[in-house]
A and B are shown apart, each in its own frame.
Chain A
């Protein structure tokens, strides 16, 4: 099993809808989780980080972490065409420098 796994998509949602992106992780990843957005041909850009069980909200973005079930999700409310990108989930083991990245989920928001 890969350390961090994501559905590659594409996930298509209409403009204004909620986009839900999911990620599961293995026991090797335990402490901190990150969501990055990557536009085509560009480098990953950090959107949110989450370290504790539960929800964390930042504007239209909500990250959710469930350590018992080993999944982390990103909800994008009121999706816009400008949200169309690949979203990378990353996890890190406590006291360890290395990040484990998922392969990314491509999101298409249709006008």
Chain B
């Protein structure tokens, strides 16, 4: 079974703090993704990575950065947390690069971040 884990289930931070969210997958997947999910807005892609040290911006990258130093680990960084970054953050991974139409995304349990 695919296993995607996230470092925290719940996190409370203060405005202006630097926040690190970590995601680890154990299935040797090439692709990893960070989403945020808000009521009424659905899942929105922040960043994704298709290889070590490679990253691409998603739909809402502002205020976030990412790091992928090892294949199994993908970190999301909030450089200076703000209250509008309070959300559920979901990490996902998928196996193959571009060519496989059957490729499926598998999600981690999520981190509910509250910024006060």
Contact = CB atoms under 8 A, between A and B. Distances in A.
Nearest to A2: B42
Given A88-B43, A97-B94, A97-B97, A46 B108 contact: no
Contacts of B106: 46
Contacts of A43: 90, 107-110
B104 A46 contact: yes
A49 B107 contact: no
Interface residues of A, number: 25
Given A42-B109, A43-B109, A96 B104 contact: no
A105 to B, nearest CB: 11
Interface of A: 31-32, 34, 36, 41-46, 49, 51, 88, 90, 92, 94-99, 101-104
